[in-house]
Structure formats: C-alpha cells, structure tokens
Amino acid sequence: SQQGEEDPQALSIQEGENATMNCSYKTSINNLQWYRQNSGRGLVHLILIRSNEREKHSGRLRVTLDTSKKSSSLLITASRAADTASYFCATASNQAGTALIFGKGTTLSVSS
C-alpha cells in the first residue's frame, strides 16, 4: 500500500522557474526522504529530513516537514531541463525494519 501521496501528479514549468511538490503521509515517521527517478530507471536519493527537523536545504533543493499535518514539500529553485524526472517522497516509520514507503510520485517536466 502507498503511504505518501504527492501533489500535484504532474507539473510542467519553464526553465528558471521554481517547482514545488507536496507529500502527505499517514503514520508517524522516523524520517522522510525525497528521491528522483529518470525515465523508469533506478531512484536517486535527494535529501532526508528527520522528524525533529522542520526545514533542510541542499543546493537548489529545499524541503520542509510539518509532522502535525503529516506533510512535506520539496522546492526546486531555478529549475533546469535536466530536472525533468519523477519525484517521490518516501517515509521510514518508527516501527521495526527500514522499509521505505513511497508515494505515487510527481512527474516534473521542465522545458527550455
């Protein structure tokens, strides 16, 4: 079953614009991670935010986490054509095991 739900499902923007994707989840978490997937290939880890953190930056990426609302957002600033990909949020629960539970993803298309 999917835990996270990303919103929007698809997003089309121009190069240089910012892209914002949102993720909601259902259960308590240890951390939340964002991954990128190009053309149905393997997933690449982008950023991890722990449950006691509210905001984290990495290069052009900014992630926020609101555990009271069980939601997170990923902001990509000054987007490039190379950012075109599917983006997934994944949660790691506080329960035993380290399986990640993924949402259905947001497909981002950046045109030049």
Partner 1 sequence: ETGVTQSPTHLIKTRGQQVTLRCSSQSGHNTVSWYQQALGQGPQFIFQYYREEENGRGNFPPRFSGLQFPNYSSELNVNALELDDSALYLCASSLELRKETQYFGPGTRLLVL
Binding site for partner 1 (CB under 8 A): 1-2, 4, 30-31, 33, 35, 40-45, 48, 88, 90, 92, 96-105
Least distance from C-beta 68 to partner 1, angstroms?
21
As measured in angstroms, the least distance from the Cβ of 25 to partner 1 is 12
Write down the least CB distance from residue 77 to partner 1, Å: 22
Residue closer to partner 1 by CB (options 4, 110) is 4
- CA–CA distance from 79 to each of 18, 53, 59, 60 (Å)? 6, 25, 12, 8
Would you report the helix, strand and coil content of the chain in percent, each value rounded to 5? Answer: 5, 60, 40
Nearer to partner 1, 6 or 76 (CB): 6
Tell me the residue type at 60.
R
Q: Are 105 and 37 in contact (CB under 8 A)?
A: yes
